[in-house]
Amino acid sequence: MGMNGIRPVIGMSSSGTHSTGGVGCCCFRCCTCIHVEFFKTLPGIIKICETVISGLIQSLLINYGLRYSSSIGSAFEGSLTTASACFLTSALLLACYTLSEKTYRLIRSSLFEMMFNSLACFLYVSSASYLGFATKLYLMADYYMKPGFDVYPAMTAAYMLSGVMGILHGADAYLSFVYYKTGR
C-alpha cells in the first residue's frame, strides 16, 4: 500500500505485435515465436533478397570459378570473401529477426546494422568492379575460343549480381540510418 492507502495498479503492456506473430491455422495461431510480419516489411524483403542473392553469388563462384581462381586472381578471392561474409551475416540477421521482434527492434536501431550494410555495399561494389575487370581480361578470350566454356557467363552473372547486392545493401544502410534516427 502507498502513503494514501491506495494500492498501485500494475498493468501489462504490449511493446509490439509479437503476440500477433505466428501463422494462423483455422481459428487459432501457431508458432507464435515466429515474427512473420517481418517478411511483409520492406527491410524484411530486402534482407531475404540479400541472403538469397549472396548465396547464389557464392554458389556461382565456388561451382564455376574455383577451377580458374589462379587465372582470375585476387578478384575471385575478394568476391568470394565478400559473398561468404555477407551471406553469413545476412542469414544470421534474418534468422534473428524472424525469431524475435525484440531483436529486430534492438539490432535494427543500433549502429551495427547501419555499419554492416554500408561496409557490405562498399565491398560488393568494389568486388563487382574488380571481378568484372578480371573476367573480361582473363576469361573473355577463352569464352570465344573454346566452345562450352561456361566460366565466363557464370563469372559475368556473379559480378553483375554483386553490383545488385551493392545497391541492395546501400538501400538497406539508408533504411537502417532512418530507423536509427527516428526509431521506426
Is 174 domain-assigned? Answer: yes
Q: How many domains, the chain?
A: 1
Is 17 domain-assigned? Answer: no
Is 63 domain-assigned? Answer: yes
Percentage of the residues of the chain whose pLDDT score is greater than 90: 60
Total-model pTM:
0.81
Q: How far is residue 135's CA from residue 65's CA, in Å, rounded to a whole number?
A: 10
- DSSP for 95-138? HHHHH-HHHHHHHHTSHHHHHHHHHHHHHHHHHHHHHHHHHHHH
- Of 161, 130, 135, residue with least CA distance to 65: 135
Query: Per the structure block, which three cell numbers stand in for 52?
Result: 538469397
Is 13 domain-assigned? Answer: no
Q: How far is residue 178's CA from residue 66's CA, in Å, rounded to a whole number?
A: 39
End-to-end CA distance of the chain: 38
Is 7 domain-assigned? Answer: no
Cβ atoms of 120 and 165 closer than 8 Å: yes
> How does pLDDT run across 105-151, given as a tens digit for each residue?
899 889 999 999 999 999 999 999 999 999 999 888 788 777 777 88
Domain hosting residue 160, numbered range: 37-182
Is 15 domain-assigned? Answer: no
Q: Residues 14-37: what's their mean pLDDT?
A: 58
Is 118 domain-assigned? Answer: yes
Q: How far is residue 21's CA from residue 36's CA, in Å, rounded to a whole number?
A: 6
- Tell me which of 132 and 30 has the higher pLDDT: 132
Q: How high is the mean pLDDT of the chain?
A: 86
> How does pLDDT run across 57-96, given as a tens digit for each residue?
999 999 999 999 988 999 999 999 999 999 999 999 999 9
pLDDT score of 152 more than 70: yes
